[in-house]
Amino acid sequence: MKLKLAKKNFIPFLQSLMDEYDLFAPVRLAEGASAYKKIDQPEEVDLSIRNPQKPAKEIFFPQSEIMFRYEKAGKENRITSTEEVKRNRVLLGARPCDIQAFALIDQVFAGKDYTDVYYLNKRKATTVIGMGCDGPLSTCFCSSLNGGPFQREGSDLFLTDLGESYLVELLTEKGMAFQKNKFFEKPTDKELAFAKAIEEKSAVKVKVSVPVDGIEKRLDEMVESPYWVRVQEKCLGCRVCTYLCPTCHCFDIVDEALTKKGRRVRNWDSCLSSLYSQETSGHNPRPTNRERTRQRLMHKFNYFPKNFDRIACVGCGRCIIYCPAHFDIRQTIKEIQKGGDT
């Protein structure tokens, strides 16, 4: 079903969402920095942001999350889990690349043996309103990884910016629940055609440019290659790429304690940290940046595909834009495909 939301109704529309749901949307934190946040004032929402630094996975997998609280009473412990999601949620304005990434992380956190209830409860409670990219960047390569600037997979509703209004497509059962929203109108044929034109223009911009076919097999042959020493020379191990990557899912679990009570918290972590694999004995299986960079690249393009048949990259380009040493993963992929020839 295709409906339309006039931009002059945007703020009251947001308010109508906030009356029923916890709303998460992109917010500008400073001139050049943004993230997805829980919205307190509808005016905070800024859908003109190309792609916030922090990926949308934060909504389901927060950077820092309490898992349970405990309280000591004598020799006993009382535990209260925080896994429950009290109110249903709407995620507004996520781009198709970030939404693709949800499907990848779902594979890790769902799993047949153990379910990560913290993540899954939030996933189940959230309606995803995706937004098409009418201005993809030259660093975007989603089309090379089964994605695209207007890919609708994973969205319950999907927005296209038409200038004066948004085209709103209701795609799933969850999405159809919004059809009665009083701010939605019927779009004209002209508007529908305009939306189609925007979509076609964007698709051309993000042509398939990064050769990922067969990269898993290539990497099988390169485990001990000298390439890993060369490729990481300029890498500072600064971890920006892992913290901004929509598909990275590594985390640390720690206890934060006061005397009698405290909580168990999980925080994002990065395989590029020097102490990531450090064992209490002092032994570190990944002692230098060579092993750690190899781990990162092989996890994305070899280990994850072995387990889940998908490459753990959605081509959002954040790692290319924000790396202080200007590491370009598209170049790395091409070099790997040539067997490590730089």
Residues in 40-99 that interact with other proteins by CB under 8 A? 53-54, 63-64, 67-68, 70, 72, 75-77, 79, 81, 83, 85
By CB under 8 A, residue 22 contacts other proteins: no
Q: How many CA atoms lie within 13 A of 151 on its CB side?
A: 22
* Rounded Cα gap, residues 166 and 5, in angstroms: 5
By CB under 8 A, residue 104 contacts other proteins: no
CB 199 to other proteins: min, Å: 18
By CB under 8 A, residue 30 contacts other proteins: yes
CB 57 to other proteins: min, Å: 13
By CB under 8 A, residue 135 contacts other proteins: yes
How many C-beta atoms lie closer than 10 Å to residue 110's C-beta?
13
* Rounded Cα gap, residues 128 and 174, in angstroms: 9
* Rounded Cα gap, residues 281 and 50, in angstroms: 46
Strand partners, 129: 92, 157
CB 188 to other proteins: min, Å: 27
By C-beta, is 34 or 151 nearer to other proteins?
34
Residue 145 is encoded by which pair of tokens? 């990884």
CB 336 to other proteins: min, Å: 15
By CB under 8 A, residue 193 contacts other proteins: no
By CB under 8 A, residue 107 contacts other proteins: no
By CB under 8 A, residue 161 contacts other proteins: no
> Which member of 164, 325, 338, 339 binds other proteins (CB under 8 A)?
325
C-alpha closest to that of 47 among 22, 74, 21, 28: 28
Residue 188 is encoded by which pair of tokens? 């004209």
How many C-beta atoms lie closer than 10 Å to residue 316's C-beta?
27
In sequence order, what DSSP letters do the residues of 9-46 get, joined into one string? Answer: GHHHHHHHHHHHSEEEEEEEEETTEEEEEE-SSGGGB-
The answer to whether the beta carbons of residues 284 and 270 sit under 8 Å apart is no
Count the residues of the shown chain that bind other proteins, applying the rule CB under 8 A. Answer: 99
By CB under 8 A, residue 299 contacts other proteins: yes
The answer to whether the beta carbons of residues 139 and 326 sit under 8 Å apart is no
Evaluated on CA atoms 228, 233, 239, 241, the torsion sign reads negative
> Which member of 106, 199, 328, 335 binds other proteins (CB under 8 A)?
328
By CB under 8 A, residue 171 contacts other proteins: no
By CB under 8 A, residue 236 contacts other proteins: yes
Interface region with other proteins, contact rule CB under 8 A, candidates 96-104, 130-138, 176-184, 189-197: 130-138
By CB under 8 A, residue 218 contacts other proteins: no
Identify the helix (H) or strand (E) that includes residue 229.
helix 227-231
By CB under 8 A, residue 188 contacts other proteins: no
By CB under 8 A, residue 331 contacts other proteins: yes
By CB under 8 A, residue 233 contacts other proteins: yes
* Rounded Cα gap, residues 66 and 170, in angstroms: 34
CB 255 to other proteins: min, Å: 5
By CB under 8 A, residue 280 contacts other proteins: yes
By CB under 8 A, residue 320 contacts other proteins: yes
> Which member of 13, 36, 102, 118 binds other proteins (CB under 8 A)?
118
